[in-house]
Amino acid sequence: MPIEAGKIRNVAVVGHRGTGKTSLVEALLFQSGKTNRLGTIEAGTTVSDWDEDEQKRQMSLSASLCSCEWQGRKLNFIDTPGDSGFQADTVASLRVVEGALVVVSGVMGVEVNTSRVWGRAEELELSRVVYINMLDRERADFYRVLAAVQEQLSDRCIAIQLPIGAEHELTGVVDLLHNCAYMDPHGEREGDPVAIPDELAATVEEYRTKLLDAVVETDETLMERYLSGEEIPAEDIAAALKNAVTRDEIYPVACGVATKNLGSHALLDLMVEGVPSPVKKPSPIETDATVAAFVFKTVADPFAGRISIFRVYAGEVKSDTTLVNHRDHSKERLGSLMTLDGKEHEKAAGFGAGDIGAVAKLKEVQTGDVLVDAEHDLEPPALGFPEPVMSFAVSAKTKGDEDKVAQALRRLGEEDPTLRLSRDQQTGEELLSGMSQVHVEVAVERARRRFGVEMELHQPRVPYVETIKGEARAHGRYKKQTGGRGQFGDCHIVLEPLDDHVGYEFVDKIVGGVIPQGFRPAVDKGIQEALQHGNLAGAPVQGVRVTLVDGSYHNVDSSEMAFKIAGSMAFRSAYEQAQPVLLEPIMELEVTVPDEAVGAINGDLNSRRGRLHGMEPKGGMTMIKAEVPMAEVLTYNQALTSLTGGRGDYHMQFLRYEEVPAHIAQKLIDAAKRDNEAVPA
C-alpha cells in the first residue's frame, strides 16, 4: 500500500556551496536509523554525493534523492547543489516539494546563492526552515548569523533552537519548542533529551518568549490563552507553529553541527512538526486526471539507461502500467518502479499522491513532462531554467568520433537542461554552453567516464559581424565568352545601411525589362552569398539594404548563374565604398559580489571596456549591472573567482551589436588577413 499523502514530507535541502548540505542529509539519515554509520565528504562515503566527480571535487554537482522515516512519517530529502553553475537541479527540485531546508554557514552567514534560492522559494510560496550549520568552527557565531538571516532573508525568521557554547566549546543545542537540550554525540546517534543547563536559563527564557510571541500572534485563540497567563502545552504551540510555517508566516531557525550529528534529533522533529505535508499545500498541477506524475529530473545512466525521477500529483503510479505523455500524447509503459537513496535503487510496487519515485527506460520522456492516465487539459509547471552564460568550442580528440561526442553530450543535456550543444553557423564551431567553466568541464569529464568519449575544449571565437555606415552605388558585369554559348550578366545596385545594423533587405526597382523578371532573384542570391564573408575580417555582413536599379542582359548568353555572379561582384564593389565597419556582440552583465569587492570589480569591468549602469546593495552583497563586449568576458569566471574569493556570481545575455573601436578593429582585420594568407590555396 502506498503511504498516505498526509504522512509524507518533501524537503529540498538548499543553500550556498560549502554550507554542509550533504553532511546534514547524511546526519539525518543516520539519526533516523536509515544508515548505520555517519559518512563524510572527505572519505567520499556520503549517501547523496556518490558520483565520482562529486567525490573528487568534494561538492554536489547534481540533486540526489534520499528518504527516511521519523515519527511514522516518510521524509523525502532532495540534496541539491549549492554552486550556481549546477543550479538546474535546484530549480527543478524546488518545484516538487512543500518545504525548503535552507542551510547557512555559521561562519560565512548569508551568501549569494542563499539569497537566490530563498527568493525562488518565496516565488513558489514554499515553507522554509533555516539551519545554521558548522557552529563548532572558528569564528562561527550563531547570534551574528541569526541577525544576518533576519535582515537579509526575512524578519519572520525566528530561532527555535540555540547553541550551548560556541566554536570549539560547543557542547549541545537547546530545543526551545520542547524546552529540552541535546548534548554533542561526537558523531554517534543523539541520545534522549536532557535538561537545559542552568547557566543558559536567562538566554533561553528570552528566545523562548520571542518564539512564543511570534507563534501566538498567528493564532487568535492561542493569543487569548497566552495573554490570560495560561501555561500553553508544547503540542499546542507545535500545532500553531506548523500552521504558521505552512502559511509562510514564520520561518523557524534551527542549528547544530552536521558532521558531529549534533542537532539532528531536534531538526527531524521540526521536519515532521513544521513542514507541511502535500495535503496542506496546493498542487502546482491543476487537473482532473485520475493519475498524474511530473518528471522533474533525468539521470543518464550508462547501465540502467535513462532514469526518470517523478513526483506524483494525483492517484497512484504502479509498476507495469501505461500512461500518456501530456507533451506529445505518446504512450509510455512504466516497467519496474524504484525508490532511490543516492546511487542505490530498490524495487517499489507503486507511489501514491505526494510521493517521489523513479522509473528507468522510458522512451520519449524528458524533464518537465507530465504523465497522465489519459488525455487531459493541464498546464505543466514551468521549471524556469536559467539560460547558459558560458560557451566553449568542443571537438572530438579522435577524428571520426564527432557523432559519439554529440550523442554523449545530448544525453547529458537530457540530464541537465542548462547544458546545451549547438552549432555556431557563423564560425562553424560546435559550442558547448553551460552555467560556468566548472559546469562545462564536469560535462566533458562525465562524457569520458560514462560514455567513453574524449573531447577537447577551446575558447570559442567571438561572432563578429560587419556592416556599413555609408551609401554606395556599384556596377557588376560578368561576361565570359568561350566556344559556343557564353555567359552574360549585368546589374547596377545601390547599397545603404539599415537602422540598428540588423537584417538584410533586397528591393527590386527595375523599370521595364532591362533585366528580365526571371533573373532578378539570382542577383539577390549572389548578394546573399557575398554577405557570408565581408571584406574586412571575413565576418558575415548584416544591416544592409540593396536596391537593384538597372542592368542589361543578352538574349542568348544570359543565365541565372551569370546574374548571380554579377550581383556578387556589384555588392563587393559597393561594400568597399560604403564605409564598412566591424561590429562586436555586447553582453548585458549582472554581477553579484560582497560589498567589500565592489571597487575591485568596477575597476576590472572598466578595464574590460565595460559601461556601468547601476548598483543595487542588498544585505552585504551588491548587484552591479553593466554592458561589456563579449570578447572581454569570455574568461570572466576566473577573474571573478579570484577577485571575490569565490563568493561572486554573474549572469549575462546578448544585448546588441556595436562598432568595434578602430584600434582593436585594425588588429582583428590584420589577424584575419594573416589567417587567410596562412591557408594553402
Round to whole Å and give the CA distance between 119 and 17.
Answer: 17
C-alpha cell at 458: 577551446
Q: How many C-beta atoms surround the C-beta of residue 630 within 10 A? A: 20
C-alpha cell at 213: 510571541
Name the residue among 132, 53, 115, 111 with its Cα closest to residue 86.
53
pLDDT at residue 446, rounded to an integer? 84
8 A C-beta contact, residue 325 and residue 367: no
Q: Which strand (E) or helix (H) includes residue 437?
A: helix 437-451
Burial class (CB in 10 A: 0-12, 13-18, 19+), 617: exposed
Per-residue pLDDT, averaged over 214-234, amounts to 89
Say if residue 50's pLDDT is above 60.
no
Per-residue pLDDT, averaged over 165-191, amounts to 92
Round to whole Å and give the CA distance between 575 and 570.
Answer: 8
pLDDT at residue 49, rounded to an integer? 47
Per-residue pLDDT, averaged over 518-541, amounts to 92
b/e map of 635-650 (b: 16 or more CB within 10 Å)?
A: ebbebbeebbeebbbb
Right CATH number for 390-458 from 3.30.70.870, 3.50.50.60, 2.60.120.1570, 3.40.50.1100? 3.30.70.870
Per-residue pLDDT, averaged over 572-584, amounts to 95
Per-residue pLDDT, averaged over 294-316, amounts to 85
pLDDT at residue 511, rounded to an integer? 85
- Please give the DSSP secondary-structure letter assigned to residue 523: H
Distance of CA 426 to the CA centre of its chain: 27
Domain spans of the chain? 5-274, 292-372, 390-458, 466-578, 582-663
Confidence bin at 217 (pLDDT 50/70/90): very high
Bridge pairing between strands 251-255 and 157-159: parallel
DSSP 282-297: --S-----SSEEEEEE
Say if residue 180's pLDDT is above 70.
yes
pLDDT at residue 145, rounded to an integer? 96
Residue bearing the bigger pLDDT, 466 or 431: 466
Name the residue among 63, 69, 50 with its Cα closest to residue 97.
63
The residue length of the chain stands at 681
Burial class (CB in 10 A: 0-12, 13-18, 19+), 344: exposed
Round to whole Å and give the CA distance between 466 and 501.
Answer: 9
Per-residue pLDDT, averaged over 349-375, amounts to 90
Specify the range with the lowest mean pLDDT, choosing from 276-290, 379-393, 620-634: 379-393
Assigned CATH topology for domain 5-274 = Rossmann fold (3.40.50)
Cα dihedral 275→277→279→281 (10° resolution): 40
Confidence bin at 341 (pLDDT 50/70/90): confident
Say if residue 653's pLDDT is above 90.
no
pLDDT at residue 681, rounded to an integer? 45
Specify the range with the lowest mean pLDDT, choosing from 19-33, 307-321, 426-440: 426-440
Residue bearing the bigger pLDDT, 117 or 654: 117
Per-residue pLDDT, averaged over 519-532, amounts to 94
b/e map of 247-273 (b: 16 or more CB within 10 Å)?
A: eebbbbbbbbbbbbbbbbbbbbbbbbb
Cα–Cα distances in angstroms (integers) from residue 188 to residues 26, 121, 172, 184, 658, in the given order = 12, 33, 13, 9, 62
pLDDT at residue 556, rounded to an integer? 84
The full 3-state SS of 580-600, as one line of letters, equals EEEEEEEEEEEEEEEHHHHHH
8 A C-beta contact, residue 275 and residue 392: no
Residue bearing the bigger pLDDT, 84 or 407: 407
Say if residue 636's pLDDT is above 80.
yes
Helix, strand, or coil (residue 497): strand
Right CATH number for 292-372 from 1.10.3720.10, 2.40.30.10, 3.10.690.10, 3.40.50.2300? 2.40.30.10
b/e map of 504-543 (b: 16 or more CB within 10 Å)?
A: bebeeebeeeebeeebbebbbbbbbebbebbebbebbbbb
Round to whole Å and give the CA distance between 474 and 654.
Answer: 35
Cα–Cα distances in angstroms (integers) from residue 192 to residues 31, 33, 189, 264, 647, in the given order = 12, 15, 10, 12, 39
Q: Does domain 582-663 have CATH number 3.30.70.240?
A: yes
At CA 634, angle to CA 630 and CA 635, rounded to 5?
Answer: 145
Topology alike, domains 390-458 and 466-578:
no
pLDDT at residue 483, rounded to an integer? 66
The predicted-structure confidence for 54-102, as pLDDT tens digits, reads as follows 556 566 666 789 999 999 999 999 999 887 777 888 888 999 999 999 9
Confidence bin at 397 (pLDDT 50/70/90): confident
Specify the range with the lowest mean pLDDT, choosing from 207-211, 426-430, 583-587: 426-430
Q: Does domain 466-578 have CATH number 3.30.230.10?
A: yes
Structure pTM?
0.77
pLDDT at residue 232, rounded to an integer? 85
201-216 and 220-227 helices, crossing angle to 10°: 140
Q: Which residues contact 399 (CB under 8 A, 6 or more apart)?
A: none
Residue bearing the bigger pLDDT, 212 or 425: 212
The full 3-state SS of 174-214, as one line of letters, equals EECCCCEEEECCCCCCCCCCECCCHHHHHHHHHHHHHHHHH
8 A C-beta contact, residue 440 and residue 432: yes
Round to whole Å and give the CA distance between 377 and 25.
Answer: 38
Name the residue among 362, 433, 419 with its Cα closest to residue 385.
419
Q: Which strand (E) or helix (H) includes residue 457?
A: strand 455-458
The predicted-structure confidence for 186-215, as pLDDT tens digits, reads as follows 889 998 999 999 999 999 999 999 999 999
- For the chain, the average pLDDT equals 88
Say if residue 546's pLDDT is above 70.
yes
Confidence bin at 299 (pLDDT 50/70/90): confident
pLDDT at residue 619, rounded to an integer? 66
